[in-house]
Amino acid sequence: MSIQREQLEGDVLIIGAGPAGLSCALHLAKLIKKHNASGAKPELSAESIYVLEKGREIGAHQLSGAIMNPNALAELVPDFEKSAPLDTPVTDSAALLFTKNSSLRFPITPPPFQNKGNYVVSLSRITKWLGGLVEATGVNVFKEFGGAELIYEGDGVAGVITEDKGVDKNGKPKDNFTPGYELRAKVTVLAEGTRGSLTKKLVAAKKLDNINPQSYGIGVKELWDVQPGRIQPGYVAHTLGWPVSTDMYGGGWIYGLSNNRVSVGLVLALEYADPQFDPHAAFQTWKTHPFLKKILEGGKLVRYGAKSLPYGGWYAMPRTYVDGGLIIGDSGSFLDSQRLKGIHLAMKSGMLAADTIFEALKSGDTSSKTLSAFPQRVEQSYIKKELWQVRNFHQSFQHGMLRGFVHTAFQQITGGRGLIDPMRAHAGHEAYKKINGRPAPERFKGDGKLTFDRLTDVYHSGTRHEEDQPCHLHVADTNICSTKCVIALSNY
Ligand SMILES: Cc1cc2nc3c(=O)[nH]c(=O)nc-3n(C[C@H](O)[C@H](O)[C@H](O)COP(=O)(O)OP(=O)(O)OC[C@H]3O[C@@H](n4cnc5c(N)ncnc54)[C@H](O)[C@@H]3O)c2cc1C
């Protein structure tokens, strides 16, 4: 059955209202305002920019408690300190080495762990605030609208079809069925975050992959209200060692926010050998370390979240432009995995995309010839400078922490080149080893005070969805369950 869809046509369509998409929209709207005020032709309109966000509100899909390098925000909103919800400046940056029962602070904090001049923020509050600025310029932000399919035209893209609403879990229309919109634009910007559903289709369809496949990490985190005096606002610590074994890549963080709030989390590369390894359980175990116990005991869990992040860096960055389309932020691999920072790079990539789109709209040429100016702008910006220094960083750890540290030492003194450049990476899932009939471990239960089972944590994630709606998670190869995972599954 062919579905009649309402059509809407604009100049620019941005998919995703995270730091990248919102910075793109805001910067472009400001450029347009200045352009129109100068009387230059053609007249452009901020109202012809559409932003789609699948979350129920801006910021709903952001994890709170992050450290933000404010350099891009200072360019985007020069007086940001007056109104941005910054929470607190970083006052102390520590690097800690954990063994099971003890911790050792590095006497000198290594540069990647230095956070002087940065802010501890709630990213969800920052994006909400940015969203307000974007809407005030006249840009249309559509919340609870997920881009479901790309509209391809020629060698590029011409817009998206949004999700149909009112569909049951089997994909059948219900009484309240409303077909998705067909949104067309001269330029479609993919700012979906890590492993965006449309981005991955576009990258595959147009063969935009770089020399390395993207690799991913997962961050599992909790936000706690703790007893007064347990942590100073602005205290930032990164932990190495226990419980992360030396054949894995990962570490923890402890960020002190204002009002006795603390963000704690463990981030792990999704390329471990044991398919039964459980990052959530590892995070809960990490919280039982005496250093964390001292901070958290007597406190209360406020919020939980888990999210993936792209670790691949420069050599995993896809081609970021096609006819009528750009890829920015985490979707385009703009993340510094050594510093665990992507907010400022996402923002800056959004602004450089806006500069490129502005020129394209003025000239009336939105083909890849004009849009290829985007990666050139990236090359000349501090994005390249930062990501080039760490271009071989994550790959170095694909063979364990110890070898990773040796490579990193050489990279540090050779501006990122190291012993092998470019260092190739393998896709994370290729690291899995067969479990050979080993029974699945028992699920982590937690004590309900300091540690929690997964269900309790998910309850604290604020996730809400209808029972009778299509599932967004699809197993791409369903045979895998009978041919490869059958032993693991039958033990659950
Ligand atoms: C655990 C963890 C800790 C981190 N800590 C830090 C830190 O301390 N400092 C730092 O600088 N960086 C940190 N990062 C990285 C940082 O969060 C990201 O680099 C940054 O948020 C990327 O911004 P983005 O706009 O590209 O993507 P996102 O922030 O992921 O935003 C993408 C948005 O697009 C929406 N969306 C996705 N697909 C669609 C679709 N098809 N249709 C409509 N909407 C869609 C999503 O709902 C989301 O709102 C961390 C990441 C993780 C996972």
pLDDT at 483: 64
Does domain 7-77+126-210+313-393 sit in CATH 3.50.50.60? yes
Which ligand 1 atom lies nearest to the CA of residue 267? 1
Residue 68 Cβ contacting ligand 1 at under 6 Å: yes
Ligand 1 centre and the CA of 65: distance in Å?
A: 13
Query: Six-digit token pair at 437?
Result: 């009939």
Ligand 1 touching residue 193 (CB < 6 A): yes
Residue of the nearest CA to atom 13 in ligand 1?
A: 341
Which of 300-309, 357-366, 465-474 is predicted least confidently? 465-474
Nearest to 254 by CA among 282, 294, 312: 294
Place of tokens 């540690």: 451
**What pLDDT is recorded for position 159?**
98
Q: Output the CA angle 176-179-183, nearest 5 degrees.
A: 145
3-state class (DSSP) for residue 252: strand
Amino acid at the residue 15: I
What number of residues does the chain have?
Answer: 492
The strand pairing partners of 10, in sequence order, are 185
Please write down the HEC assignment for all residues of 316-375: HCCCCEECCEEECHHHHCCCECCCCECHHHHHHHHHHHHHHHHHHHHHCCCCHHHHCHHH
The token pair at 263 is 């963000």
Please write the tens of the pLDDT for every residue from 24-36: 999 999 999 999 9
Among 87, 202, 214, 343, the mutation site with the greatest number of ligand 1 atoms within 8 A of its Cβ is: 343
Cβ of residue 329 lying under 6 Å from some atom of ligand 1: yes
Residue 435 has pLDDT above 70, yes or no: yes
Phi, psi of 217, rounded to the nearest 5 degrees? -120, 165
Residues with Cβ < 8 Å from 191, sequence gap 6 or more? Answer: 14, 15, 16, 17, 18, 20, 21, 24, 328, 329, 331, 346, 350
The CA-based angle 341-429-478, given to 5 degrees, is 125
Ligand 1 centroid to residue 298 C-alpha, Å: 31
**Cα–Cα nearest to 406, from 201, 173, 246, 215:** 246
| Angle (deg, nearest 10), helices 19-37 and 343-363 | 40
Element (H or E) spanning 167, and its range? Answer: strand 165-167
**What pLDDT is attached to residue 488?**
44
- List the beta bridge partners of residue 219: 267, 307
CA 262, CA 296: separation in Å to the nearest integer? 9
**H or E element, residue 122:** strand 119-122
CB distance 342 to ligand 1 below 6 Å:
yes
Q: Provide the CA 134 distance to its chain's centre, in angstroms.
A: 20
CA–centroid distance, 172 to ligand 1, in Å, is: 31
Tell the residue nearest (CA) to atom 3 of ligand 1: 219
Q: How far is the CA of 45 from the centre of ligand 1 (A)?
A: 27
CA of 369 to the centre of ligand 1 (A): 29
305 lines ligand 1 (CB under 6 A): no
Write the DSSP string, 71-116: HHHHHHSTTHHHHS---EE--EEEEEEE-SS-EEE-SS--GGG--T
The residue assigned the tokens 């020629």 is 154
Q: Which residues contact 309 (CB under 8 A, 6 or more apart)?
A: 194, 216, 217, 218, 219, 267, 330, 335, 337, 340, 342
Average pLDDT for the chain: 93
Q: State which H helix or E strand residue 262 sits in.
A: strand 261-269
**Of 81-90, 414-423, 480-489, where does mean pLDDT reach its minimum?**
480-489
- Angle, helices 382-389/343-363, rounded to nearest 10 degrees: 140
pLDDT of residue 256: 97
- Is residue 299 within 8 A of residue 373, CB to CB? The reply is no
- pLDDT tens-digit series, residues 366-388: 999 999 999 999 999 999 999 99
pLDDT at residue 487 in the model: 44
pLDDT at 170: 84
- Could you name the CATH architecture of 87-120+214-311+434-490? 2-Layer Sandwich (3.30)
Domain with CATH 3.30.9.90 in the chain: 87-120+214-311+434-490
Distance 481 CA to ligand 1 centre (A): 30
Q: What is the reported pTM?
A: 0.95
- Condensed to tens digits (0 to 9), the pLDDT of residues 475-490 reads 777 666 556 654 444 4
- CB of 459 closer than 8 Å to CB of 299: no
Location of each CATH 3.50.50.60 domain in the chain: 7-77+126-210+313-393
Q: How many other CB atoms are found less than 10 A from the CB of residue 468?
A: 12
3-state secondary structure of 481: helix
